[in-house]
A and B are shown apart, each in its own frame.
Chain A
Amino acid sequence: MQTKEIESQKIPDLVGKSVPRIDAHEKVTGAAIFADDIDFGVGLLYARIKRSPHPHALIKSIDTSQAAAVPGVKAVVTGEDFSGFLGLYLQDRYIFCRDRVRYVGDPVAGVVAVSEEIAEQALELIKVEYEALEPVLDPELGANPEAPLVHPDLGDYEVAPFIFPKPNTNISNHFKIRKGDVDSAWEKCAAIIERKYRIPHVQHVPLEPHIVVAKVDQGGQVTLWGSSQSPFAQRNLIAKALDISHADMRVVAPYVGGGFGSKAGVSMEALAVAVAAKLKGRPIKLRLTREEEFYTAFVRQGLVAHFKMGCDENGRLLAMENKLYWDGGAYTEYGVNVARAGGYSSSGPYEVPNVKADSYCVYTNHPVGGPMRGFGMPEMHAGLEQCIDELAQAVSIDPVQFRRINCLKTGSTLVTGSKMHPTGLSECIDKAAEAIGWGKKSPPGAPNKRRGKGLAIMWKAPAMPPNAGSSSWVELNEDGTVTVGVGGQEIGQGVFTVAAQMAAAALGVPIDWVRVAGPVDTQYSPYEWQTVASRLTWSMGNAVRNAALDARRQILDVVAEVWNENPDDLDIVNGEVVSYKSEEAVSLKDIVVYGLPKPDGTGWVGGPIVGRGKFMPTYVTGLDPETGQGERAVVHYTTGAEAVEVEVDLETGKVTVIRGTAAFDLGRAINPELAKAQVEGGFVQGISTALFESLQLEDGVPQNPSFVDYRIATSADAPFDLETIIVETPQDDGPWGARGVGEHPMVPTIPAIANAIYDAIGVRVGAPPFTPEKVYLAMVEAGVVE
């Protein structure tokens, strides 16, 4: 009902307006509260975790007696104490290891003490006897039936219906595409490119490390305060693992100091709740060190990707055959869905008649792979979009033109068999190319340098269960101001501002009348699946809009009754109810809590106004497990293009990104400046992963878990100029047409840079990071330098 109503309305003025962030003032003054800032008083205890030094081993025995005897130590726990399983899509994880360890960093015991120092000292006194097992250190080898098993019990685990594990192997999900006839298509191809890429693990490195405080009171009420993208999912999963009623578990989530996926689902949070259950009445803080942050929280899993693609002499893509081996790590409870997303997006944003794809999530003895900004797409596009450039070159077509020919247009047939919704991808390609000055070579800054330009395109859908839901409430205060309740989290993307903007727009009040109720608290806030998948502006936005429209309807019904008018003749404008018929007006503050007196003096109408709204997609269908074909695999795809100009130093191999242009189709930008800020941030994160980042694992042992050894982009590495172009092809199920753009900007960055490096020096550098060493050696090998 409300959706139809809004479709017939014009777009409110506040939609598309770059109002300032509502959380900016508290963040610039140091007043904003993050989880580590909450004061728990002198009763606070501290937990530290004993972790496995082996990538793969059986636990023979654990002796905690000496640790428990240390003065100041309050409790020592091990896996013996907790038998429940954890996992979002596949329940493959104990809270503490019970019988075996599967990666370096796997938690084997926890110590609670009066200080972090004492807890740390006690860890040293825990004696664990291991029997080392052969580790699995490569996903492609791990997928081999002969490989040692990381999870012999895979066949017994509880699993979501759209995930397909293969028991008695290390393959925890196998997603297949069988579309058309690849084998007979190759002979029709004028050119075929076949390549393999090995994309390294990277870390999210939010500036705020993971931090939680857990408390279990004597009555069994559990409270978890934490830096979290997923308060509701954490309540759900931890409550199940520890056999707690959802009614007795509360998660409070203040501002998040960066997430990028690492604080989604459950990683270290359950450890704190488990130890708190053994020490009732005391709040217990668990804060990851920066070193732990690098490899014991989720990492972006590595990928071994094989691409084969071919086109005819006119540059029409005819076939693709892709194999993706995701290095899911020790537990793939979340990563299995990365493999699925990689599978149903495996064609890239192209219309390809014949596709065969196999996307495998493989257990290894590496850190736990999980969601990271882009959810598999940056890793996959890194190779795929370089192959596209090579294929274009093989048939002598400009790579931008090649993409124009083959990219998805409205109504194109997708790799999963369904039709593409309205999309502005072609426009994104044109605009990004034009803005970078495609086809024009600029002179280098010095004789020993070479300049080049590259472009890449992308697509990405929100990867989530088909029915992930959102809800919201909108409450009016005595003075007409508004409080919006949401369960989605402010992780820096600006979603609280957008929620306020949407509520104000739908309700008809000034933006500065609106506040968002925080911190998100599962006890008071409305349900939200998770703050992931770039889904909040779209999904939670729909819920907020629906809640505001519900409040609006309640208000207009009251006024219409008293004025004896039709509610359809009334409107709320700038905080006043007005009648277009009688031209009467009344301020919201006079009606929204106390109602209005009946005109004949016989009593009152109305009362406190609380609007409620929800949104859940109901139209996503399953895919055939053998062919990956189906009616509607996902809710929608956001598409876009990025182009860069780079300079390569021939003497050192150093690559500098001089400038970049980005064009993304976000349906409708609710707040254009916030959207552009997301694009810039994602672009630079993409540059960082392209040039610097790789979590180096040697025999499963992380070699560089610090900011000194694992370098991320600094202020000196940001390009001089990033231009963002917003394309708006409205999304039919989005609020005022909006779709998400949070993750997408880091998807095409790696291949855009790789393509630009090729343009500069005529050498293909393959997989990132494109370090000076790698680029220099590639130039030597190609004979570009001596």
Chain B
Amino acid sequence: MAFHKITFTVNGESELVDVPSHMTLLQMLREKLRLTGVKNGCAAGECGACTVIINGEPVNSCMVLAVECDGKEIVTIEGLARDERLDPVQEAIIEQGGVQCGFCTPGILISARALLDRTPTPSDYEVRDALVGNLCRCTGYLRIIDAVKKAAEA
């Protein structure tokens, strides 16, 4: 099994990790860096629970090999709050009651943050479209959609 030494930043901190060729970014984040806020819901790119931001784009981390991330900037749910202050979208999802079991929440918040970064005031349609790859079985989505719109106003 071939190992590769890669460097990248996660949530603003630089990291140096030895990874086997076939290790996914999801596995590396959870198992090598203990960033367990990144969730494994299907390992097939279908549910969005493992969404992280790579160089500004939301990505299913289960569909990316860790070695591909050499030199990249990654943001996970653990990096959304800055200086102990919650991101507006984190604040809004609490306020709107858009959290239930919490398993899809990290991926949803990451997708929402990526949306707001490229579209600061999204329409209802744009919010739904941005979250369509993030499955949630608990909430029925409405409070999450409202939270993203509310965060956009903040």
A-to-B contact residues, CB < 8 Å: 20-21, 23-34, 36-37, 39, 204-209, 255-260, 289-290, 491-494, 673-674, 676-677, 680-685, 706-708, 712-716, 718-720, 722
Question: In the assembly, what is the distance between CA of A493 and CA of B47, in Å?
Answer: 21
Is B77's beta carbon under 8 Å from chain A? yes
| Minimum Cβ distance to chain A for residue B57 (Å) | 19
| Minimum Cβ distance to chain A for residue B94 (Å) | 4
> Given the known A-B contacts A493-B100, A718-B145, A722-B142, are A706 and B44 also in contact in the complex, defined by CB atoms under 8 Å?
yes
Query: CB-nearest residue of chain B relative to A37?
Result: B36
Question: In the assembly, what is the distance between CA of A27 and CA of B78, in Å?
Answer: 11
| Minimum Cβ distance to chain A for residue B152 (Å) | 15
Is B102's beta carbon under 8 Å from chain A? yes
Contacts of A24 in B (CB 8 A): 93-94, 99
Contacting pair B86 A28 (CB below 8 A) = yes
B129-151, CB < 8 A from A? 129, 131-145
> Given the known A-B contacts A30-B35, A707-B42, A712-B135, are A718 and B142 also in contact in the complex, defined by CB atoms under 8 Å?
yes
The winner among B38, B94, B100, B141 for most chain A CB atoms within 10 A is: B100
Contacting pair B97 A36 (CB below 8 A) = no
Contacts of A673 in B (CB 8 A): 97
Contacts of B37 in A (CB 8 A): 29-31
Select one of B39, B80, B101 contacting A256, CB under 8 A: B101
Is B34's beta carbon under 8 Å from chain A? yes
Is B46's beta carbon under 8 Å from chain A? yes
> Given the known A-B contacts A27-B99, A37-B36, A208-B101, are A680 and B143 also in contact in the complex, defined by CB atoms under 8 Å?
yes
Contacting pair B100 A715 (CB below 8 A) = no
Contacting pair B44 A207 (CB below 8 A) = no
Select one of A256, A290, A714 contacting B44, CB under 8 A: A290
Select one of B93, B106, B137, B143 contacting A712, CB under 8 A: B137
Question: In the assembly, what is the distance between CA of A298 and CA of B44, in Å?
Answer: 22
Question: In the assembly, what is the distance between CA of A682 and CA of B139, in Å?
Answer: 8
Contacting pair B78 A29 (CB below 8 A) = yes
Beyond A677-B143, A714-B141, A715-B129, list 16 extra A-B contacts (CB 8 Å). A27-B102, A31-B78, A34-B39, A207-B49, A207-B104, A207-B136, A257-B39, A257-B103, A673-B97, A674-B97, A681-B138, A682-B140, A685-B137, A708-B46, A718-B142, A720-B124
Select one of B39, B106, B145 contacting A715, CB under 8 A: B145
Contacting pair B46 A28 (CB below 8 A) = no
Contacting pair A32 B102 (CB below 8 A) = yes
Contacts of A29 in B (CB 8 A): 37, 77-78, 80-81, 86, 90
What 6 pairs across the A-B complex have the smallest Cβ distances? A30-B37, A257-B103, A492-B101, A684-B140, A27-B102, A492-B100
The winner among B80, B90, B105, B128 for most chain A CB atoms within 10 A is: B105
Contacts of A26 in B (CB 8 A): 102
Name 10 interchain pairs, CB-CB below 8 A, sorted by A: A28-B109, A30-B80, A34-B36, A491-B101, A492-B100, A707-B42, A707-B47, A712-B135, A715-B128, A716-B132
Contacting pair B43 A715 (CB below 8 A) = no
Query: CB-nearest residue of chain A relative to B95?
Result: A20
Select one of A28, A257, A720 contacting B94, CB under 8 A: A28
Contacting pair A28 B93 (CB below 8 A) = yes
Contacting pair B44 A257 (CB below 8 A) = no
| B interface size (C-beta, 8 A) | 54
Contacts of A713 in B (CB 8 A): 140-141
The winner among A30, A706, A716 for most chain B CB atoms within 10 A is: A30
Query: CB-nearest residue of chain B relative to A708?
Result: B46
Query: CB-nearest residue of chain B relative to A718?
Result: B141
Select one of A20, A255, A680 contacting B102, CB under 8 A: A255
Contacting pair A677 B97 (CB below 8 A) = yes
Contacts of A21 in B (CB 8 A): 94, 97, 99
Query: CB-nearest residue of chain B relative to A39?
Result: B34
> Given the known A-B contacts A29-B86, A289-B43, are A206 and B101 also in contact in the complex, defined by CB atoms under 8 Å?
yes
> Given the known A-B contacts A258-B101, A258-B103, are A715 and B134 also in contact in the complex, defined by CB atoms under 8 Å?
yes
Question: In the assembly, what is the distance between CA of A289 and CA of B47, in Å?
Answer: 13
Is B24's beta carbon under 8 Å from chain A? no
Contacting pair A207 B97 (CB below 8 A) = no
Contacting pair A28 B39 (CB below 8 A) = no
Is B56's beta carbon under 8 Å from chain A? no
Contacting pair A207 B131 (CB below 8 A) = no
Is B40's beta carbon under 8 Å from chain A? yes
Select one of A207, A681, A718 contacting B47, CB under 8 A: A207
Contacts of B38 in A (CB 8 A): 30
| Minimum Cβ distance to chain B for residue A742 (Å) | 11
> Given the known A-B contacts A31-B37, A208-B39, are A685 and B47 also in contact in the complex, defined by CB atoms under 8 Å?
no
> Given the known A-B contacts A290-B43, A706-B46, A715-B128, are A208 and B143 also in contact in the complex, defined by CB atoms under 8 Å?
no
Contacting pair A20 B94 (CB below 8 A) = yes
Question: In the assembly, what is the distance between CA of A682 and CA of B142, in Å?
Answer: 12
Contacting pair A716 B128 (CB below 8 A) = yes
Is B127's beta carbon under 8 Å from chain A? yes
Contacts of B61 in A (CB 8 A): none
Query: CB-nearest residue of chain B relative to A745?
Result: B140
Contacting pair B104 A715 (CB below 8 A) = no
Contacts of B122 in A (CB 8 A): none
| Minimum Cβ distance to chain A for residue B91 (Å) | 8
Question: In the assembly, what is the distance between CA of A39 and CA of B35, in Å?
Answer: 11
> Given the known A-B contacts A36-B40, A677-B143, A681-B140, are A28 and B105 also in contact in the complex, defined by CB atoms under 8 Å?
yes
Question: In the assembly, what is the distance between CA of A681 and CA of B94, in Å?
Answer: 16
Contacts of A207 in B (CB 8 A): 39, 41, 47, 49, 101, 103-104, 135-137
Contacting pair B136 A290 (CB below 8 A) = no
Contacting pair A257 B101 (CB below 8 A) = yes
Question: In the assembly, what is the distance between CA of A289 and CA of B40, in Å?
Answer: 10
Contacts of B143 in A (CB 8 A): 677, 680
Select one of B41, B80, B81, B102 contacting A492, CB under 8 A: B102
Query: CB-nearest residue of chain B relative to A717?
Result: B141
Contacts of B140 in A (CB 8 A): 680-685, 713, 718, 722
Query: CB-nearest residue of chain A relative to B76?
Result: A30
Question: In the assembly, what is the distance between CA of A715 and CA of B144, in Å?
Answer: 9
Contacting pair A208 B128 (CB below 8 A) = no
Question: In the assembly, what is the distance between CA of A629 and CA of B56, in Å?
Answer: 64
> Given the known A-B contacts A24-B94, A30-B77, A30-B78, are A714 and B101 also in contact in the complex, defined by CB atoms under 8 Å?
no
B107-134, CB < 8 A from A? 109, 124, 127-129, 131-134
Question: In the assembly, what is the distance between CA of A674 and CA of B143, in Å?
Answer: 11
> Given the known A-B contacts A707-B47, A712-B137, are A206 and B103 also in contact in the complex, defined by CB atoms under 8 Å?
yes
Contacts of B136 in A (CB 8 A): 207, 715
Contacts of A256 in B (CB 8 A): 101
Contacting pair B103 A680 (CB below 8 A) = no
Contacts of B42 in A (CB 8 A): 209, 290, 706-707
Query: CB-nearest residue of chain A relative to B144?
Result: A715
| Minimum Cβ distance to chain A for residue B20 (Å) | 10
Select one of B81, B90, B94, B103 contacting A208, CB under 8 A: B103
Query: CB-nearest residue of chain A relative to B89?
Result: A28
| Minimum Cβ distance to chain A for residue B151 (Å) | 12
Contacts of A209 in B (CB 8 A): 41-42
Contacting pair B129 A28 (CB below 8 A) = no
Question: In the assembly, what is the distance between CA of A21 and CA of B135, in Å?
Answer: 21
Contacts of A36 in B (CB 8 A): 36, 40
B39-85, CB < 8 A from A? 39-44, 46-47, 49, 76-78, 80-81
| Minimum Cβ distance to chain B for residue A413 (Å) | 36
> Given the known A-B contacts A28-B93, A290-B46, are A681 and B100 also in contact in the complex, defined by CB atoms under 8 Å?
yes
> Given the known A-B contacts A39-B34, A289-B43, A718-B141, are A677 and B94 also in contact in the complex, defined by CB atoms under 8 Å?
no
Contacts of A707 in B (CB 8 A): 42, 44, 46-47, 135
Question: In the assembly, what is the distance between CA of A207 and CA of B49, in Å?
Answer: 8
Contacts of B93 in A (CB 8 A): 24, 28
Question: In the assembly, what is the distance between CA of A37 and CA of B95, in Å?
Answer: 26
